A and B are shown apart, each in its own frame.
Chain A
Amino acid sequence: GNSVTQMEGPVTLSEEAFLTINCTYTATGYPSLFWYVQYPGEGLQLLLKATKADDKGSNKGFEATYRKETTSFHLEKGSVQVSDSAVYFCALSEVPGGKLIFGQGTELSVKP
């Protein structure tokens, strides 16, 4: 069945460091891929998405590129801030707007 695997946390970085959170997926067909973020005490929010191969999703300085050849959707940011501290979830859906299958989540802590 379809699944999402993301790197385990917690990840601790200093402010202005480069961030990569790895995400790989297993799916039949051509899923849509997402990153959701959960800030402390808040609900899940969509961070970015990509719906087809080679698409790049971007938002708030974060980027992820849909790589079909490596079945990956790694999240990157060039310079993290303390306010980026949150739990990040990679997810896929088989059809647009359909059920999401989530990875386990990666907790990011950014220190000043």
Chain B
Amino acid sequence: GAGVSQSPSNKVTEKGKDVELRCDPISGHTALYWYRQSLGQGLEFLIYFQGNSAPDKSGLPSDRFSAERTGGSVSTLTIQRTQQEDSAVYLCASSENNSPLHFGNGTRLTVT
């Protein structure tokens, strides 16, 4: 079946602009996670959704970062006023019924 889909696969933006990253989880998966992968920082947890609510937002690095999920499915991660240190690969994962996380291929964000 279809896996976790993320779009765009690559995004180049100018410093100060806002960006939106999209994640389509595996159908029926109620849990959705966002992670950030950057050189020297490994994989950092950002936020976790169960359904449409986010019980754990502890990894969001600043108030420029926000995320929402609608219909228990698609999620968008928004970064406002992007900075160069936001450059990274943003990964989305989903799971259901205590199964292991399934990851998408990520969005590579480059802030110039």
Q: Which residues of A contact B (CB under 8 A)?
A: 34, 36, 42-46, 49, 89, 95-97, 99-105
Contacts and interface: CB of A to CB of B under 8 A. Distances in A.
Interface in B57-72: none
Contacts of A100: 33, 43, 45, 93, 101
Given A97-B95, A99-B33, A99-B56, A46 B100 contact: yes
Contacts of A102: 42-43
Given A43-B105, A89-B43, A104-B42, A97 B96 contact: yes
Q: Which residue, A34, A49, A97, has most C-beta atoms of chain B within 10 A?
A: A97
Contacts, number: 45
Given A100-B45, A100-B101, 18 more contacts: A34-B100, A36-B103, A43-B91, A43-B103, A43-B106, A44-B91, A44-B93, A44-B103, A46-B101, A49-B100, A89-B43, A97-B96, A97-B99, A97-B101, A99-B48, A101-B45, A102-B43, A104-B42
A46 B43 CA distance: 15
8 contacts: A43-B106, A46-B100, A46-B101, A89-B42, A89-B43, A96-B98, A100-B43, A102-B43
Interface of B: 31, 33, 42-43, 45, 48, 56, 91, 93, 95-106
Contact of B42 (A45, A46, A105): A105
A43 B98 CA distance: 21
For the complex of A and B, 5 pairs with smallest distance between CB atoms = A96-B98, A97-B98, A43-B105, A44-B103, A102-B43
B35 to A, nearest CB: 8
Contacts of A95: 98
Q: Which residue, A34, A43, A100, A103, has most C-beta atoms of chain B within 10 A?
A: A43
Nearest to B56: A99
B42 A103 contact: yes
A99 B96 CA distance: 12
A62 B105 CA distance: 23
A100 B43 CA distance: 10
